[in-house]
Every structure is written in C-alpha cells, then in structure tokens.
Structure 1
C-alpha cells in the first residue's frame, strides 16, 4: 500500500504571526514535523500543503515536497482539515499519483517523532482500522468539573460528586499532532474521525497546544527538558 504524509501549513496565522515557520528551539517549527515524517520511513512521499511561497521554500529546504500550492478556497479560517486533505489527494490524482493511506501531521507539532509515526502506521495496518488519531488523557477527570451558575459554583455532573477519581472512566481528547486514515474512509465520511478509528495515546508531558505566545514558551520549555543531554 502507498502512503503520503501531508503537513498542513497555511500562511496567515493571526494570533502568532508566521506561526508555522516561527523559530522553535533553533529552527522553524515546521521542520520538526517534516523531519519526523522523513525519519519514520513510513511514507512514500512527505509533502506540505500551503498557500505561502515562503512556507513552501522552507518546507523544501528541510526535505519535503510541495508539488502544488493550496487553493484560495481552502486557505481561509472556515476550511476544515478534511477539505484540505481531499484537495491534496485530488491534485495528486491529476498528476498521476495515488495513495491508499494518508497521514495528516500538523506543522506545529515539535513533539512528534519518527518513531511515533512509524509505530502508529504499523498499529493501524495490523489492526485493520480505517483511521487512527493521536490522543492524550485529560489530566483531571472532566466528570468532576465545576460550572458557575448564578455566580455560584456547582458540579456540572452531580452524580459523580462522591465518586473516586480512580473509579471514573478515563476520558481522552485529540492532542493535535497527527491523524492517519485510509483514502476511501476520507472520501466516504469527509472527516478525520470515522467509525472504525483507533487511538494512539501520547503521554501528557509530550503534548502542548500552541495557540498563544504563552503556549509557545511552555512548549519550548517542555521540549528542552525532554531533550536534555541529546
């Protein structure tokens, strides 16, 4: 089966200017996703989908290909990741390339490694699943959440007020690093999460949303600590 790693890196970030190519611990943050995909050895092609020539140039510098630019229609704030992936696959088909499996890797995911991607691809293939998503466990049980109503604190789920944390079902969320799915599932459901999706759990210390400059600084500290002595 043939596979492609698609790193989605549009320009025009508003909260962190040039977020996808901003320097992170010594190199553009985009470089980490490219290098991990290449190092994994799991893909026939590693490409970057972007609408920015500057991002395309940096992507090529670090070893990815940019065979075509992303359309204006899929470069706005309302386009979904699934929309972008479908466009990429369609554009590849126009130039005579077809892939059975695709991995979507976010460009601001410095904690992704080649080993993780290789292991995730193997896990999905062996399981017979149609998709895989990287997940992380909530650090605190959401069942014990508070809400504020009429300026008063109360439990959102009163039925769990006396439940022990260790007895509650573990709940996970998308950790914003990578997805893997079969092309046929993408076309059928137009989503990254399809009925036959399996999890790939990532440790909490290797996960960090990067939406603000505070997030960015925390991620750099985490990355530095994890890679001490290398």
Structure 2
C-alpha cells in the first residue's frame, strides 16, 4: 500500500501575504504540517505543490519533496483544490508512480498531529470511505440561527425557537485541515467530498481557520495553549 501526502501551497495568497511560509511562533507555518506528515510514517512521499521557488526551498529545508512545480493553470486565484490534486496525481502517473491513498494537507493547519492522521487513515480504510476529514461541532445550535433584515431578526427555523439546546441534534462543519482519500475514488469522481465521505470529530481547540491577522494571533494563542496541555 502506497500513500502520498500533498501539501498545496501557492505563492499568491492575498489576504495574508506569503501566508504559507509566514513565521508561526518562530517557524514557517508550512513546516509544522511537513513535520507532522513525516512523523506520522504513513506516507511514501510528502510533497509540496507550489508555483513559488521560495516556498519550494523552505519546503525542501524541512524535508518535503518538490518533484515538479505547479503549472500556471492551477496557481491562480480560481483553481480548485481538486484541480491541484488531479494535476499532482497526473504528474506522478506520467513518472510511472501510482498511489492507493493520498492526503491533501493544508499548509496553514499547524494543529494537525500524527495521531490524528493515523486515526483518519484507519477510519478511511476500515470503513471503506472515499474520503475522511476532521469536523468540529458548531458551538451554538444551528437550528436556532437567526437572520437580520434591516435590523429586524427572524428565525431560520421558528419551530425550534423554544426548543432546549440539549434536545437539538448536534451539527458539525469541516475543520479545514486535511482530506485523506482513496485515489481510485477521487479519480472516478474528481471530488473530495462524496456521498461516501466520513468525518472524525475534533475539539474546538484543535483547529483554527486563518484568514486574517486576528485569526493568526488567535491561532498562535491556541497553539501555545494546546502545546502546554500536552
């Protein structure tokens, strides 16, 4: 069985410039993900898909491979993750290399641990899912969400306005960290999330989406807190 870790890290991030290699508590943020993938022992190759020579150099410094650079078609603002993964798998196939499973690991997900990757892979193979990824529970019941229209509030689901929180079904969202998937299933559908996808629940402290400067500061705070708890 052969597994590939793919870390997509283009150079043109807009909201946080050079986001994928920006220092996170003193180390390029991508280095945490590379190190986790290598430590997991799950992968025959840990590669970074990038169009940027500086990112490539830093990735190599921390142990990742850069067998080829990303093309201009998949380096733009509108390229999807699926398109990037398809390109990577095709490039490897042209070299005569095929993989049973692959994991798309986002470069700004420093909270991912080798243990979490192993848990995802076990779930993927044992339950024969197409894809497995981390999910987090919404901190407030989504059934009691409201909309605002000219400062007026309205229930999305008025039938639950008085329902006790503990009586409502928990809801979850994608934690935005990684997708561990069957290469064969992905090649057939060209989709990461299918009707046969599975989720593994992680705590609210075990991930943080980073889209702006405040997110970055909160993520560093949470990471230090989690690190001290270990």
TM range (shorter): over 0.9
Deviation per CA, 1:1-60, whole angstroms, max 9, x where unpaired?
Answer: 211000111111111110000000110000011001001111111000001010000000
Q: In 1, distance between residues paired with 2:207 and 2:142?
A: 18
Q: In 2, distance between residues paired with 1:137 and 1:202?
A: 8
Q: How many residues align?
A: 230
Partner-residue secondary structure (3-state), 2:177: strand
Deviation per CA, 1:169-204, whole angstroms, max 9, x where unpaired?
Answer: 111111110101111211222111012111111111
Partner-residue secondary structure (3-state), 1:121: helix
Q: In 1, distance between residues paired with 2:135 and 2:147?
A: 25
Q: Which consecutive segments of 4 or more residues in structure 1 shift more than 3 A?
A: none
Contact 2:16-2:213 within 8 A present in 1 as well: yes
Q: In 2, distance between residues paired with 1:109 and 1:212?
A: 14
Measured on the aligned residues, the alpha-carbon RMSD in Å equals: 1.1
2:56 aligns with 56
Greater shift in the superposed pair: 79-88 or 125-134: 125-134
1:7 aligns with 7
1:43 aligns with 43
Contact 2:3-2:45 within 8 A present in 1 as well: yes
* TM-score, length of structure 1 as denominator length: 0.97
Q: In 2, distance between residues paired with 1:87 and 1:114?
A: 26
Structure 2, unmatched stretches of 5+, are none
Greater shift in the superposed pair: 153-162 or 61-70: 153-162
Shift of 1:229: 7.1
1:112 aligns with 112
Q: In 2, distance between residues paired with 1:150 and 1:12?
A: 37
Contact 1:6-1:85 within 8 A present in 2 as well: yes
* TM-score, length of structure 2 as denominator length: 0.97
1:172 aligns with 172
Contact 2:130-2:186 within 8 A present in 1 as well: no
Deviation per CA, 1:45-89, whole angstroms, max 9, x where unpaired?
Answer: 100000101000000000000100011000111111011000000
